[in-house]
Amino acid sequence: RSNEEHRRCIAACLVKATYIMEEDRPKCRVYDMGLAPLWWQSFHFELRDLLKCGTENADEFIFGAIFEYCPPVGCQRHPSAPNYVFALRGTMPRHPKSVHDLYNDIKVFLSDLPCCRRTQKARQAVTNMLIRKGTERCVLWLAGHSLGASLALEVGRDMAEQHQAYLPTFLFNPPNVSPMPALNLLNASEVAKKDVFTGSYLVKAALGATVMRSYCTRMEKVFQRLSPWVPELYVNERDIICQGFIDYFEQRQKVEERIAGVGRAAMKLSYRDMLSSLIGSSKEQPHLLPSARLWKNSNTTFGTHGLKQWWRPDSELKLSCRKFTYPGA
């Protein structure tokens, strides 16, 4: 297998393990007897810690896990292998306490996830690990699916922007709050979508150059700090929950090719953030990314939003990949 395929499959399997551990927990299955260890032991990982959240100790539930890679005795560590992987699960709608997940789903929709307890706990755990191990000696991956991908995105952005720690990040079906999937559901033509994006980008660029100049300047600095970080985004073309990421990256490139300078000026701006800025808030939409590698799967055999498609080999998927960067960064 290629390195990229192997990395994707391992990251997806470790995220799956976090789902299964939370499924095992209410059934009182200890990890040696549970189903979860099979998902990490076959890759020579060991469970080092759990990320939990809840109101009381007796009511705590697992939303993530920390794994350490322990190569077999006598085997040399591969240069691209991580030391640790922070894996974050998504929403479990059939879980008895799914209301906690749904609450955080609403946070994603309202762009309030940076303030939630899960984000804070995950961010603190990553920070503590980097302080103990050192950023130069410790290769740390972030991985998450759906809601967990949103958490990993928030943590990765914070590490890159605030600490210049550019962690390899694997985001499986990350949600994107965008009106563009509505156009896709209406079967809008590519020409119509391009016109909508071009018009929107022209308005954003004009606002950024005039009444929203201070906000635009702040976002320019944010993009400059974030640009070395290149997260891996894995999306299915038919998944309306994350289609916004496809449109964000592909349409901004088309706008820039159509009208030079407009795509670059507008890609870092958001109407919601502009409105928040006017009332004194400083929110940043998480989908506003200067750089990323976008992996698109057009095969729906394994579902569109499910995690299981991402541990399948390349031969069973219809994958395309394109890297996007911030011009001039």
Segment among 29-43, 71-85, 154-168, 261-275 with least mean pLDDT: 29-43
Q: Are 14 and 40 in contact (CB under 8 A)?
A: yes
pLDDT of the residue at 297? 97
> Minimum mean pLDDT among 25-34, 117-126, 233-242: which range?
25-34
**What's the mean per-residue pLDDT of the chain?**
90
Q: Which of 35-44, 56-65, 81-90 has the highest mean pLDDT?
A: 81-90
8 A C-beta contact, residue 147 and residue 92: no
How high is the pLDDT of residue 295?
98
d(CA 150, CA 173): 9
Identify the sign of the CA torsion 76, 81, 86, 92: negative
Say if residue 327's pLDDT is above 80: no
Q: How many Å apart are CA 168 and CA 75, to the nearest integer? A: 23
50 against 186, higher pLDDT:
50
CA-nearest of 236, 108, 262 to 181 is 236
- pLDDT value of residue 237: 94
Mean predicted confidence (pLDDT) in 40-69: 87
CA dist 130 and 132 (Å) reads 5
From CA 107, how far away is CA 104, in angstroms rounded?
5
- C-alpha span between 87 and 151 (Å, rounded): 10
Statement: residue 189 has pLDDT above 60:
yes
Q: Are 51 and 125 in contact (CB under 8 A)?
A: yes
- Token digits for 325? 């960067």
In whole angstroms, what is the distance from residue 18 CA to residue 36 CA?
8
Please say if the pLDDT value at position 2 is more than 60.
Answer: no
Cα–Cα separations (whole angstroms), residue 313 to 4, 9, 323: 11, 8, 21
Q: What percent of the chain has pLDDT over 90?
A: 68
pLDDT of residue 50: 94
Q: Decide which of 3.30.70, 3.30.460, 3.40.50, 3.40.1440 is the CATH code for 4-177+221-258+286-325.
A: 3.40.50
Dihedral, CA of residue 238, residue 241, residue 242 and residue 248, to nearest 10: 100
- pLDDT score of 205 more than 50: yes
Q: For position 57, what pLDDT does the model report? A: 56
Residue 28 predicted with pLDDT over 70:
no
Q: What is the pLDDT of residue 1?
A: 42
Count of residues in the chain: 329
Per-residue pLDDT at 33 exceeds 80: no
| CA 52 vs CA 16, 129, 227, 241, 316: distances in Å | 16, 16, 31, 25, 34
Sorted by where each begins, the domain ranges of the chain are 4-177+221-258+286-325
> Is residue 140 within 8 Å of residue 167, measured between CB atoms?
yes
Q: Is the pLDDT of residue 138 over 90?
A: no
Average pLDDT value for residue range 43-61: 83
